[in-house]
Amino acid sequence: MPKAKAVAPSNIAIVKYWGKRDDRLNLPATSSISITLSKLKTEVSVSFDEKIQKDEVLVEGRPATENAYKRVVAFLDVIRSKTNLPLFARVESFSNFPVSSGLASSASTFAALTLAATKAACASFTLQELARIARLGSGSAPRSLLGGAVEAVAGVLDDGSDFEVRQILPQERVFFAVVVVVVDAKEKSVSSRDGMNLCKRTSPYYERWLEYNQGLVSTAKSALLNGDMQTVGEIAEASCFAMHACCLSANPPLLYFAEPTVSVIQEVFDMRKEGIQVYVTIDAGPHPVLILPFDFVPKAVERISNLKGVVRVIVERAGEGAKIL
């Protein structure tokens, strides 16, 4: 019974991925840049088993929801077709953060699943081949294969064969902390995939958003390489708020923020006016993420923790990429 286990970290995008140039291949419309995190992780084990008649998927020890099950099975079909393995699999995933709270787990899950499933199938792929496989599960997953600051290069070819992941900085050279602020909010109601499709179909800003976001990539890379906190922070906010503006301009409007999300944003702006160098970014959910020099962490954490609706504050830093266990 071919079996393997892998672990992958979550990541937070500084330059967001929001929009696909090919739905079927799950190809991003723009490049993106993220920081791989050190603590928030998902462990996935995969065993292909000739004795089972269908795939079995357990998330945190419980059967996966119908949507999650279908997504994992579609991904396993890709692995089966690439490795000529005609067996069903048993997949188990555990995250060390609450997946139901709306914190993104698709990146860590699909990065770990890519490594575990290809290893269990006894197949060996290059890093870029693994990145292209991981992308079929989740667009942000390839970035979790590498540690530190990572770019996912969108590429231009129709078949996606020039999509790549590249490390911009190893984890020890990432010069700022990442603070995940978990707020009191309902689970997100519109998935990233559906949100991106809605924006593409209905937002009057969609094309401009893509052009603007792609334009941020090279400046962000130089700022990361030059240790320029201000530019990294300003770009993270620019990409985040332009993405959310695109969401808000969709029909029906897509609002991912909850009340405490807005309080945290306001507090970040206030702190900056007082000389505390802190910036904020938010994915397709209500939880803000702060980016700031290590020296400012205690002060910023104290201020944010006191806000109404803030449930938990997780102080993070850049970490290593996914690996086989």
The contact set with ligand PMV (CB under 6 A) reads: 13, 16-18, 32, 104, 106-107, 138-140, 192-193, 283-284
Q: Are strands 288-292 and 149-153 parallel, antiparallel or unpaired?
A: unpaired
Q: Which is nearer to ligand PMV, 196 or 271 (CB)?
A: 196
Q: Which is nearer to ligand PMV, 142 or 260 (CB)?
A: 142
Minimum distance of ligand PMV from residue 292's CB (angstroms):
19
Q: Which is nearer to ligand PMV, 26 or 118 (CB)?
A: 26
Minimum distance of ligand PMV from residue 270's CB (angstroms):
25
Q: Which is nearer to ligand PMV, 29 or 85 (CB)?
A: 29
Residue 103 tokens read as: 């914190």
Minimum distance of ligand PMV from residue 313's CB (angstroms):
20
Minimum distance of ligand PMV from residue 298's CB (angstroms):
28
Q: Which is nearer to ligand PMV, 31 or 45 (CB)?
A: 31
- Percent of the chain that is helix, strand, coil (3-state, to 5): 40, 25, 30
Q: In whole angstroms, what is the distance from residue 293 CA to residue 48 CA?
A: 45
Quickly tell me which residue has 């292209």 as its tokens: 132
DSSP 296: G
Residues contacting residue 92 through CB under 8 Å, at least 6 positions apart = 44, 45, 57, 58, 61
Minimum distance of ligand PMV from residue 8's CB (angstroms):
13
DSSP assignment of 131-174, as one string?
Answer: HHHHHHH-TTGGGGGS-SEEEEE----TT-TT-EEEEEE-GGG-
